[in-house]
Structure 1
Amino acid sequence: MTTGPETQEDSRQQRARPEPPRPGLVFIFSGGAPMFRPVPLDGGRLVLGREDAGGQPLPDERLSRQHAEVRHEEARWHVEDLGSRNGTSVDGVQVLARRAFSEPRVLRLGNTLALFHEDVRRLAGADVQVAPDSVRGPGFNAALERVAAAATAGETLLITGESGTGKELAARAYHRAGPNARGRFVDINCAAVPASVAERLLFGSRRGAYSGADADTEGYVQAADRGVLFLDEVAELSPEVQAKLLRVLETREVLALGASRATPVDVRVCSATHKDLRAAVAAGQFRADLYYRLAQAEVRLPPLRERPEDVPWLLAHALRDSPTAPSVHATYVEACLSRPWPGNVRELLGEARRAARDATAAGSRSLRAEHLDPEAGTALTPPASPSAATVTPDRATVEATLAEHGGNISAAARALGLHRTQLYRLLQRWGLGTS
């Protein structure tokens, strides 16, 4: 028989259990403009239309009053077009009736785009912040909060992430949030500094230290005194410079080339790399003791493919300074969302500006999917030899493979040896829906 105290304990355990995830949609583009609106699927079901998308209207005239229904059942998403005038698609493929998906990414209704999200509770209170120099969605903001925490604690910071993810932006946030915010921010790209002069550029030199040294020269470390020294591509430092940098961090003193006495410095150090620095340590290419000094805190910046909600805002940001730039159409945003963008934000911004120039030159007032370069945002691979070139499958093979994999686009593309985007294009070419 259950006693009173046991019943109370059971009740406490039940209250402590985490709530189940709340699947939903995140609306990111509608009416020709970016937006950020997480909407949960109440009861696992959501009917979408022009006047009601989670209790609020959407500014898209191409939406029908009742456009589509989205359900989440048994770990699968079900999308049904409710006889809309302008169609419903998932990841670029039209949904003609009702269709089930395992891992969908982008829902398009008319000229409105939304992302499928397994748990919109995590986005409660989140937003996309647009600053003069950046666009900061929930994922990037979370990383910047960890950067600020490291700066406030006075820790050295190692920023990791792919090229183009915003490492310098994060380093400047570290500078602003730390105790040396009023001092200088001195940045150096270690990969661009020749090994032969790296030591004197970093630590300075005294008159007569080498041939042609006719005056004392301040190094980057001295220049950053009472400020922040940002070492970008820190993995490229030579072993000799690594040893001397370690001594600066340990003693808070710097010995200039040719000097007999070290001078004290108050410098906060932030470093960044796109390489795996732990692997470099294991391979003997980077000093372990320096790594631990530089990485008292370590923050990884998410690549663009992990922050798709930022894409519409970044496109608007890229074109904001051009009074003649065409308006961004939903098809262009949708096409950008289908690509991995290995160059991340830097690559996306550059491509958007190029596409806008080409669209304007062609007399188009709208930036659409056809203006996106076929190679933009795709993985960089060496050209295939004729014998290794991909053979385009015929329609019957594609239909059979899709049926074999239950209509799962990603799985079928892998089985066919194609990128998912290539398979989408074939389906569109042949007019194959997903019903």
Structure 2
Amino acid sequence: MEQDASTLKPSGIRGKDAAGVERIPGLMRLFAPGKAMAVALPLNGGELELGRGSPALGEAQDPRMSRRHARIRFDGRRFWVTDLGSQNGTFVDGEPVPPETPREVQRVIRMGDSLFVPNADVNPLEQLGVVTRDGFVRGPAVQALLEEVARAARLGFPLHIHGESGTGKEGMARAFHENGPHSAGPFVAVNCAAIPQTIAERLLFGAKRGAYSGADADAQGYLQSADGGTLFLDEVVELDLAVQAKLLRALETKEILSLGAAKPKTVDILICSASNKDLRGLVAAGKLREDLYFRIGRPEVSLPPLRQRPEELALLVQREVQQVAPELGLHISLVETCLLRPWPGNVRELLVETRSAIQAALMHGAQRVEARHLSTNAGTAFGSGPAPAPMSVPTSAPPPEDREAAAREAASRARPLEADERTRIEEALRQQGGNVAATARALGMHRTQLRRLLERHAIAIPAGNEPD
């Protein structure tokens, strides 16, 4: 989207978040020549001019940037980028922008060999940075959640972790265990979705010898194994209602009655559960017992998806390359492409696909991992049609009419939208009050792509809201 520069007035207004902390709009610099980073660049007065030698870039200068490369403005709602006639050009969301023409940015800006992501509040990044601990890369949002988790653990409360698949719920559960009164005891993680319902009771509560055909010895259940420690029940909502009832009784009485046992056994465990589904909605649908919800559903923390934690992404990719093939370099095109994709499988998917890209680079004898080594489907939303080709360093953009034709062709080949993906889009629309641009940012896609999905799959916008 283009707009006359005269209409763009830097607001300079700094709002406050729900806790009364000042919000500071700015950029997050996530990649400098050959190196991932996470550095906050505040837009003082609502505007920032960047180029080679800019004090804001510190020691990590970029020789491929011009001395006056681009200007970034924040108008109170949106970020705008204006190329100042740079030699190597400025790219917004993967496309080159004409000089002296303001362009709205949704996801990522490339200048030279540096990548920047706009953010309405860089204060958390400036204050907390991104840290790597115990093998986990943790940005400001996750660090804040870890403090909540630690408080709940120290008080001996149960904890429920909500988050999409692959966001790092088990890592959060381990932090809960390590900060609680049972940190010296075992940590037992159970994937309830993988337990066959016919043997769920036996696996959870154990069985005595002779309890059923083939039970020739006592078998300890997961709850007994976690005695004196923490039991992590991932996707606890997948348990049968009858098993949920027995689990509730065990949690309330701290007694477990194994199959075939005459007397219960006392256990002392701390409970942490997780799900990628809304617990209250499952209670209303009759798939989760209301009494169990009140026992394990509060307090709750919500892990944001990777697309809302871009400050972690480049560091995650770089760490994976260094661990798998330290002899390889990391090219800006790979990081840029990863920042432009929504990654519905979150951190888990990113790491798996990065490993595949590393293997492709090694097989082709490359000296660095580039976007061309990444699968075309990696990190793309399910059901949204074929992914765009991986980006290398673009030199020119196709004419607008060609891009429109390609989009129409892709739409005609698109598969029906998966139920989970449709639910994710509808939920994001509700959370953003029907604002299409805000929903697109939350989903990690351009608003034009989202509008096509809404129209193609007849997804209604909440009443009283129109696409912007």
Normalising by the smaller structure, the TM-score range is: 0.7 to 0.9
Cα 1:100–1:206 shift into 2, 3 Å: same
What amino acid maps onto 2:285 in structure 1? A
1:112-142 deviations in whole A, cap 9, x for unaligned?
0111111223433111112352211112222
Matched ranges for 1:36-55 at <5 A = 36-54=38-56
Give matches, 1:27-426, under 5 Å. 27-54=29-56, 56-73=58-75, 75-102=77-104, 104-323=106-325, 325-381=327-383, 395=401, 398=404, 410-414=446-450
Instruction: Note the C-alpha offset of 1:59.
Output: 3.5
* C-alpha deviation, 1:246, in angstroms: 0.4
1:8 maps to which residue? none
**Structure 2, gaps ≥5 residues long:** 1-18, 387-398, 408-439, 456-468
Seen in structure 2, the aligned counterparts of structure 1 residues 306 and 243 have a Cα distance that, compared at 3 Å, is: same
2-structure distance, mates of 1:346, 1:134: 12
Secondary structure, aligned partner of 2:36: strand
| Mapped contact 1:206–1:258 kept (Cα < 8 A) | yes
2 CA distance for matches of 1:243 and 1:136?
36
Cα distance in 1 for partners of 2:355, 2:86 equals 33
- In 2, Cα distance between equivalents of 1:248 and 1:380: 39
Give the secondary structure class of the aligned counterpart of 1:321.
helix
1:431 equivalent in structure 2: none
Moved segments of 4+, more than 4 Å: 17-20, 396-399, 411-419
| Residues 1:186 and 1:77: Cα distance change in structure 2 (over 3 Å) | closer
Structure 1 pair 103/82, CA: closer, same or farther in 2 (3 Å)?
closer
CA distance in 2, matches of 1:350, 1:413: 25
Deviation at 1:21, TM superposition (A): 3.8
The C-alpha deviation readout for 1:278-332, integer Å capped at 9, x for no partner, is 2111111110100110122111111111101111011012112234552111111
What CA distance in whole angstroms lies between the structure 1 residues aligned with 2:139 and 2:32? 17
How far apart are 1:394 and its partner, in Å? 7.3
Please state whether the residue corresponding to 2:301 is helix, strand or coil: strand
SS of corresponding position for 1:124: helix
Contact 1:60 1:112 in 2 (8 A): yes
Q: Deviations over 1:135-166 (max 9, x none)?
A: 11112222222221211121111111111111
* Mapped contact 2:38–2:312 kept (Cα < 8 A): no
**In the alignment, which residue of structure 1 is the partner of 2:437?**
none
User: Within 1, Cα distance between the matches of 2:374 and 2:142?
Assistant: 25
Looking at structure 2, the residues matched to 276 and 359 of structure 1 have their Cα atoms a distance apart, in angstroms, of 40
- 1:151 is aligned with what amino acid? A
> For the residues of structure 2 that align with 1:211 and 1:364, how far apart are their CA atoms?
58
Identity of aligned residues (%): 47
**Aligned-partner residue type, residue 141 of structure 1:** Q
Contact 2:92–2:105 under 8 Å retained in 1: no
Q: Distance in 1 between matches of 2:275 and 2:101?
A: 43
Which structure would you say has the larger Rg? 1
Q: State the aligned residue count.
A: 389
Question: Secondary structure of the residue that 2:56 maps to in structure 1?
Answer: coil
| Highest RCO, 1 vs 2 (Cα 8 Å, sep ≥ 6) | 1
1:376–1:255: structure 2 CA closer, same or farther, 3 Å change rule? Answer: same
1:53 shift after superposition: 4.5
The letter for the 1-side match of 2:62 is D
Q: Deviations over 1:14-66 (max 9, x none)?
A: xxx96874321111110211111111112222111222252624342212222
Shift of 1:87: 1.6
Are residues 370 and 281 of structure 1, via their aligned partners in 2, closer, same or farther at CA, if it must alter by over 3 Å?
Answer: same
| Counterpart-to-counterpart distance in 2, 1:101 and 1:348 | 29
Secondary structure class of the residue paired with 1:99: coil
CA distance 1:53–1:360, change in 2 (3 Å): farther
Query: Amino acid of the residue matched to residue 335 of structure 2?
Result: V
Length-normalised TM-score, structure 1: 0.83
What do residues 333-391 of structure 1 show as CA deviations (whole Å, max 9, x unaligned)?
1111111111111111111111111122222212222222111111122879xxxxxxx
Contact 2:321 2:330 in 1 (8 A): no
Q: Distance in 2 between matches of 1:225 and 1:417?
A: 49
Say if 2:231 and 2:271, in contact at 8 Å, map to a contact too: yes
1:50–1:57: 8 Å Cα contact kept in structure 2?
no
- Contact 1:79–1:98 at 8 Å: present in 2 too? no
Q: Which residue identity lines up with residue 26 of structure 2 in the other structure?
A: G
Write the distance in 1 (CA, Å) between the matches of 2:221 and 2:53.
Answer: 62
Amino acid corresponding to residue 196 of structure 2 in structure 1? P
Following superposition, the deviation at residue 202 of structure 1 comes to 1.0
Contact 2:47 / 2:72 at 8 angstroms: preserved in 1?
yes
* Worse-matched range after superposition: 133-142 or 331-340: 133-142
Q: More displaced, 325-334 or 210-219?
A: 210-219
Distance 2:257 2:360 in 1: 54
Q: Which moves more between the two structures, 229-238 or 272-281?
A: 272-281
Could you give the per-residue CA deviations for residues 81-116 of structure 1, whole angstroms, max 9, x where no partner exists?
223222211111112213334552211110101111
Q: Which runs of 5+ in 1 are unaligned?
A: 1-16, 385-392, 402-407, 420-435
Q: TM-score, normalised by structure 2?
A: 0.77
Q: Which amino acid aligns with 1:351?
A: E
Which has the higher mean CA deviation after the structures are superposed, 322-331 or 108-117? 322-331
How far, CA to CA, are the matches of 2:124 and 2:308 in structure 1?
A: 15
1:24/1:90 CA distance change after superposition, 3 Å: same
